[in-house]
Amino acid sequence: MLMSMTGFGKACLESKTRRIIVEIKSLNSKQLDMNVRIPFVFRECELDVRNIIGRLLERGKVDVMISCESVAGVAAAPASTLNVETMQAYKKQICEASEALCIPEPQDWYGILLRFPDTIRTENTETVDEEERAVLLRAVTEASEALMSHRRAEGLELEGFFGKRIDAIADLLCQIEPFEKERVARIRLRLEEGIAKIPNVELDKSRLEQEMIFYIEKLDVNEEKQRLGKHLAYFRETMSLPKPGQGKKLGFIAQEMGREINTLGSKSNHADMQAIVVKMKDLLEQIKEQVLNVM
């Protein structure tokens, strides 16, 4: 069973006083890389939020956006206020710096002053009770589960994608066989013709035969074909495992497949076989590109 690392999940739940919205988006990554944006009032719950998401998602670049709003009929949170005393102190320092540096004072005083720290004061005495905490964590869980469902749906598409390309490589591997005997006969003939063109040379036919056999055996691709066939079968077997999280293993198998295909190409010494190897490489590159997205 494959799961993609990309997905999106959303949940919206209400407590007695707040409506809590959780949105989670994930992309591919070698490990879990989580960015959580959470309202100040829920800061004390951030570790629990991270633990829930980390346990369910395992891998990926994860962006978590949590927002909340007051339920209709419930008083809004205390408003923020301007810290006028602090703003006056900043304005005085800017005027003094302007005079000392002989530069004009700013025109947009509010825009300048509000950029400084502590110019906005929030009298936030809100606390989170157990009921609100439970609602938040349940929303996080539901959003995570929705994202995992999305991942599984994309994983099914990846299974079909990989299956078609694995089958195509297996078919191309079978197409190599008819060219093998022809290739050996052609190589042998070319060597004999080349030797025959050398004038006034006495040859030990027995030794020549041994050397030709040794040379041709070095070009034999049966071992590479067998290993590649086993790698293809292992790739299918790994995809069908019931537990997700096989992305790294599939990546390693794809690397081994690449080694065997490259060796086939270097040993082929035959135009038609090399054309088949090029097609195999193209299919394998498509597999490698998408394997990066498997959890």
The pLDDT tens digits for 234-251 are 999 999 888 888 889 999
% of the chain beyond a pLDDT of 70: 83
Poorest-confidence range of 169-173, 262-266, 290-294?
262-266
Q: What are the sequence ranges of the domains in the chain?
A: 7-77+128-151, 80-122, 155-291
What is the arithmetic mean of pLDDT over 182-204?
Answer: 68
Query: For the residues of 131-194, what is the DSSP string, one character each?
Result: HHHHHHHHHHHHHHHHHHHHHHHHHHHHHHHHHHHHHHHHHHHHHHHHHHHHHHHHHHHHHHHH
pLDDT at 219 over 90: no
Write the CB contacts of 49 (distance below 8 Å, at least 6 apart in sequence). 36, 38, 42, 64, 66, 136, 137, 140
pLDDT for the residue numbered 111: 84
Poorest-confidence range of 2-6, 106-110, 277-281?
106-110
DSSP secondary structure letter of residue 222: H
Q: Tens digits of per-residue pLDDT, 248-278?
A: 999 999 999 999 999 888 887 778 888 999 9
pTM: 0.69
Yes or no: domain 7-77+128-151 corresponds to CATH 1.10.260? no
Tell me how far apart the alpha carbons of residues 127 and 133 are, in angstroms, rounded to a whole number. 10
Q: Tens digits of per-residue pLDDT, 101-148?
A: 989 998 888 888 888 887 877 655 567 788 889 999 999 999 999 999
Tell me how far apart the alpha carbons of residues 176 and 109 are, in angstroms, rounded to a whole number. 77
pLDDT band at 198 (very low <50, low <70, confident <90, very high): confident
H or E element at residue 69: strand 60-70
pLDDT for the residue numbered 24: 96
> Residue 13 pairs with which residues in a beta bridge?
20
Tell me how far apart the alpha carbons of residues 28 and 6 are, in angstroms, rounded to a whole number. 6
pLDDT for the residue numbered 268: 77
176 or 233: which leads in pLDDT = 233
Taken as a whole, the chain contains a residue count of 295
